[in-house]
Structure 1
Amino acid sequence: MIAPSGACPTEAETFLAAHPHINAIDLVLSDVNGIARGKIIRRHELMALYRDGRLLPASILGLDICGEDVHETGLVWECGDGDVRAWPVAGSLVPLHGTTRAEVLLQVHHLDGSPMLADPRHALQRQVDLLAADGLHPAAAFELEFFLLDPNRGPDGALRPAPAVLDGRTSHRTEVYSVDHLQGMIPLFDDIYAGAELAGIKAETMISEFAPGQYELTLAYRTSVVKAADDLARMKRIVRAQARAHGVVACFMAKPFAGVSGSGMHLHISLNDDEGRNMFAETAEGEWSDRIRHAIGGLQATMDESMLVFAPHANSWRRFTAESYAPIAPTWGVNNRSVAFRIPAGGKNARRIEHRPSGVDAQPTLVAATVLAAMRHGMTAHIDPGPEVTGNGYANPPSPTMPADWREAIGAAQRSAFLRDALGHELHRVFCAIKSAELARVSAIIPDVDLDLYMHSV
């Protein structure tokens, strides 16, 4: 069969010849929660994957955060839990640092070769293709914020920042931008950078972020937004694996600690024309083009109904508090980190939008697809974003702002014609069904705070 993903068996042959030490390959399919689902195959099975694909149950894309079937997705018993065919993503076969294994990304098609539209990759590619029809090509990069934690909790059961892997030194302070603090994690960071290099990802600046144990890693700009999303997903696996190898835990929850900032996943995005010129660049610096203003207008107009993509879990909503570097309203501004949509400082040829609502727990492919659809909507409808916010964007947020909590976000997403179009009908149904099932699961649990507040007092 000819792979509908564009992968060619020659890629596998060349890889195996160049890497005789590889004895196994991780097959990685990212579901709507960004969880890597798939299998580990042996070296001798790789050629068959590239020639014939690999059969997987359709229900693999209908699982909740715990790996349980969500029947309401329509991907389980309605289709007899039948198989679909996963194909390798062209150019995604890479060795894994410090192991004798490799990794290849998958995308899913029906047995007749047509796209299985519950796979988020197809939704993003559709948005890229729609922009390309108008001569526009998105370029992008994500920022990755995360915590490094001690695998052993404190005597009170609380999470603790990880001790330095270099010498075991501990710090519970906010070491923001401290270069000396970074030194204690250099052996781990070296392995993270080595893993990124093997994966073909240009990982760049590492900083100590605005909470104890929190770090940020920036990734190089890509002319392909699909590859930018892949970079972010792969970097999370690389960071998690290398942290584990060094005896610490990489945490990608949006808000693991109360009282300090959570972890975002900011998306920097611009649009190039067919000749590679930045279509967001203004003629005179500081005089914003209609295209970038209308793109921001689209992001504003659809933020309310899109927040479930950007904040998909119960914990996600703990991140949104005033003066926490997480946005609380669909505001925009220039060189201003208190807004949702920021135009960073810099030369006009590098003009871009920084989309700040997403937590690091969001699925990057879904985020990118939704952001592109919103920008396209704004440019098509010529939506005016209104005046930019200057100064403290938390001081006077517009009303309405955004959903108050996870439950409201699920309802807004379910009702949204925009999100249904952005993701496609099938993926929208699957995503909303999974989130509704997860809400029901969380709502059925009696948390410790209920016992602390009410057990002896009501």
Structure 2
Amino acid sequence: MLKHQPQEQADSLLEQVHHFLAAHPHLESIDLMLSDMNGVIRGKRIEAASLEKIAKEGMCLPASVFALDICGETVEETGLGFEQGDGDRICHILPHSLSVIPWKKNAAQALVTMHEVDGQPFFADPRQLLTKTLSRLQQRGMFPCVAIEWEFYLLDARSENRQPQAPLLPKSQQRMQQTQVYSLDELDEFSEFIRDIQDYCHTQNIPSDNVIAEYAPGQFEVTLQHQEDPLLACDQAILLKRAIKAVAKQHGYLATFMAKPYAEHSGNGCHVHISMLDELGNNRFAKDSALLEYALAGLLDTMPQAIALLAPNANSYRRFQPDMFVPLQANWGWDNRTVALRIPSGSKANTRIEHRVAGADCNPYIVMSALLAGIDYGIDQQLDCAEAVSGDASKANAPALPTYWQQALKTFSHSTLWSLLGEDFSHVYHANKLSEWHRFEAQVSPLEQQWYQQMV
């Protein structure tokens, strides 16, 4: 067994692997995956015969997997590359994530999480960051119950020059042109695509709840059921995104979670619902209005600092535009979809905060860590909460959120949230994204050529 791995945990994992292999005797390959800083799945594909050995000993991956930018290049400024010899760490399988891959013959997959060689959590793994952040709330006797919603676009996979184009409606063969939010007819057109998503989720134990047509042609929202384990909720969010992309490909589409694929249409968001339970499973937000206000105040206070985490790349900031259902200020309100923090309507027992700022291009582990750290900070400091906003929040007087990438990175740098998440992790994340911003800014865009090449 791997040194310092708890014997009971190792035995349980090995037993589950034995049962899984016995139930699927024809498996040939298994994808072992983790989520990098960008939410991109990285890992190794192994032969099924190697699974038991890895369950016992773990799998080696270089720490620099968390120094990769969106292009897969190592950002040396993180300190995780050549500076430390590009050394390996040990990854352990998350047994609940072990499942067959419905879209591949004789294949399976599982998520892993990274540890130091001595068994300690590796600080730059976003999942380990969430584990650490969650433990602080649990020590207070508070247990978050969360749900994640993804928005995504279906695009015509035959689009030229990478310009997005809405797909043809499968039955009528008409090109999608209009926004038909909550349209059941549109769902009927894509019923086979939606059915396959639901079937694949069922096969992989991903509790998807419902699918709706959203605010633009070819845009959909899929919701995951509430989970009392935020780590599990984020694991399922990562696997759901992978499944949606695979189903789309099978149907001849491209599914994109890019924050703003169309200039003229709404962007893709990631909404996070959070309630707070006690040891008996009672919702403390429903019973303690002061606690709810402390949580709201902490989220509002750290929100400008968190934008660099909630909007992680260049395209993320195209989404921050007026009248596009994207908050531009740090505010909150009761059942108000124009605010950043919405308290949805419903029974008092289901009182929760809906955080509406993050884009669908985010890493859910990092977003969840930032939100829970903000809540913990507000409760610890007993911060005063601003008044709720009624009506159109864009007309309210509230702190503006950073809407440019460089501004967001500067606001995050050495902030309260930087400290709450940990100096080591925050440095790696910031260095990664700062390098990416420099690379992006150094490019000459086609629009610049069009405007300036001959005219100046």
Q: Counterpart of 1:443?
A: 441
CA contact (8 A) 1:6 1:90 kept: no
1:159 to 1:50, Cα distance in 2 relative to 1, 3 A: same
Q: Work out which of the residue numbers 52, 72, 85 in structure 2 matches 1:80.
A: 85
1:19 to 1:172, Cα distance in 2 relative to 1, 3 A: same
Shift of 1:200: 1.1
CA contact (8 A) 1:135 1:274 kept: yes
Q: Work out which of the residue numbers 188, 207, 225 in structure 2 matches 1:220.
A: 225
Q: Counterpart of 2:254?
A: 249
Shift of 1:26: 0.7
- Give me the whole-angstrom Cα distance separating, in 1, the residues matched to 2:63 and 2:45: 18
Q: Counterpart of 2:102?
A: 97
Q: Does 1:325 align with 2:330?
A: no
Q: Does 1:62 align with 2:67?
A: yes
1:58-95 residue CA offsets vs partner (Å, 9 max, x unmatched): 21111110000100111111111111111111322111
- Give me the whole-angstrom Cα distance separating, in 1, the residues matched to 2:102 and 2:170: 18
Q: Counterpart of 1:136?
A: 142
CA contact (8 A) 1:169 1:184 kept: no
Q: Does 1:127 align with 2:133?
A: yes
Residue 300 of structure 1 aligns with an amino acid whose one-letter code is L
- Give me the whole-angstrom Cα distance separating, in 2, the residues matched to 1:83 and 1:171: 48
Q: Counterpart of 1:452?
A: 450
Secondary structure of the residue aligned to 2:97 is coil
Correspondences of 1:32-431 after superposition (within 5 Å): 32-99=37-104, 100-153=106-159, 158-166=163-171, 168-282=173-287, 289-398=289-398, 400-422=399-421, 424-431=422-429
Residue 166 of structure 2 aligns with an amino acid whose one-letter code is P
CA contact (8 A) 2:320 2:403 kept: no
CA contact (8 A) 1:328 1:397 kept: no
Shift of 1:227: 0.9
- Give me the whole-angstrom Cα distance separating, in 2, the residues matched to 1:442 and 1:387: 39
- Give me the whole-angstrom Cα distance separating, in 2, the residues matched to 1:76 and 1:415: 23
Shift of 1:166: 4.9
Q: Does 1:432 align with 2:430?
A: yes
Q: Counterpart of 1:286?
A: none
- Give me the whole-angstrom Cα distance separating, in 1, the residues matched to 2:47 and 2:167: 35
Secondary structure of the residue aligned to 1:183 is helix
Shift of 1:176: 1.2
1:218-270 residue CA offsets vs partner (Å, 9 max, x unmatched): 11000111111111111110000111111100001000001211010000011
Shift of 1:57: 1.4
CA contact (8 A) 2:171 2:189 kept: yes
CA contact (8 A) 1:137 1:274 kept: yes
Residue 139 of structure 2 aligns with an amino acid whose one-letter code is A
1:267 to 1:157, Cα distance in 2 relative to 1, 3 A: closer
CA contact (8 A) 2:342 2:356 kept: yes
- Give me the whole-angstrom Cα distance separating, in 2, the residues matched to 1:129 and 1:66: 33
Shift of 1:425: 2.1
Residue 46 of structure 2 aligns with an amino acid whose one-letter code is I
1:317-367 residue CA offsets vs partner (Å, 9 max, x unmatched): 111111211100001000000000000000010110000110000100000
Unaligned runs of at least 5 residues, structure 2? none
Shift of 1:21: 2.9
- Give me the whole-angstrom Cα distance separating, in 2, the residues matched to 1:449 and 1:397: 35
CA contact (8 A) 1:57 1:82 kept: yes
Residue 304 of structure 2 aligns with an amino acid whose one-letter code is D
Count of residues in Structure 1 that have an aligned counterpart in Structure 2 = 450
- Give me the whole-angstrom Cα distance separating, in 1, the residues matched to 2:292 and 2:142: 13
Unaligned runs of at least 5 residues, structure 1? 284-288
1:103-158 residue CA offsets vs partner (Å, 9 max, x unmatched): 1101001111111111011110111111111110001010010000001226x873
- Give me the whole-angstrom Cα distance separating, in 1, the residues matched to 2:361 and 2:247: 19
Runs of 4+ more than 6 Å apart:
none
CA contact (8 A) 2:302 2:416 kept: no
1:267 to 1:6, Cα distance in 2 relative to 1, 3 A: farther
Shift of 1:214: 0.4
Shift of 1:202: 1.3
- Give me the whole-angstrom Cα distance separating, in 2, the residues matched to 1:167 and 1:426: 54
1:15-35 residue CA offsets vs partner (Å, 9 max, x unmatched): 011112322111111011000
1:140 to 1:407, Cα distance in 2 relative to 1, 3 A: same
CA contact (8 A) 1:141 1:268 kept: yes
Shift of 1:167: 5.7
Residue 321 of structure 1 aligns with an amino acid whose one-letter code is Q
Shift of 1:169: 3.4
The structure with more helix, counted as a fraction of residues: 2
- Give me the whole-angstrom Cα distance separating, in 2, the residues matched to 1:241 and 1:343: 34
Question: Aligned residues: percent identity?
Answer: 37
CA contact (8 A) 2:144 2:230 kept: yes
- Give me the whole-angstrom Cα distance separating, in 1, the residues matched to 2:174 and 2:145: 40
